[in-house]
Amino acid sequence: ELKVEQNPLFLSMQEGKNYTIYCNYSTTSDRLYWYRQDPGKSLESLFVLLSNGAVKQEGRLMASLDTKARLSTLHITAAVHDLSATYFCAVDIVPGDSWGKLQFGAGTQVVVTP
């Protein structure tokens, strides 16, 4: 059974500090996705990581992928309140099949406080 595990599930951040969210998965997929969800809202795509060693950065967020370790990290630099949301990682249910069939992790709820 394909498993996608995120940790921590809840993360209380202080503004200005750095934090990392981890995503482990059990498939051989070489592709990993990160999404953000605000309360009561839909999912917003943050990153699509397409190969081993891929690193993508957008603002204070940086995501990386190690397919050999089956691990992706989402690093948050100098957290700000606007980053409060739930972050999900996901992988293709069928490795190599990117037709919109994703297995999501349980999500990491992030709360940033002053």
User: How far apart are CB 47 and other proteins at their closest, in Å?
Assistant: 9
Identify the DSSP state of 99.
S
Spatial strand order of the sheet with 4-7 comes to 4-7, 19-25, 71-76, 61-66, 55-58
In angstroms, give the least distance from the CB of 11 to other proteins: 15
Give the whole-angstrom CA distance, residue 71 versus residue 64: 8
Beta carbon nearer to other proteins, 80 or 98: 98
Residues in region 28-87 near other proteins by CB under 8 A: 31, 33, 35, 41-45, 48, 50
Least separation in angstroms between residue 84's CB and other proteins is 16
Q: What is the largest CA-CA distance in the chain?
A: 42
By C-alpha distance, which of 5, 25, 22 is closest to 73?
Answer: 22
Does position 94 interact with other proteins (CB under 8 A)? The reply is: yes
How many chain residues bind other proteins (CB under 8 A)?
Answer: 26
**Chain positions contacting other proteins, by CB under 8 A:** 4, 31, 33, 35, 41-45, 48, 50, 88, 90, 93-94, 97-107
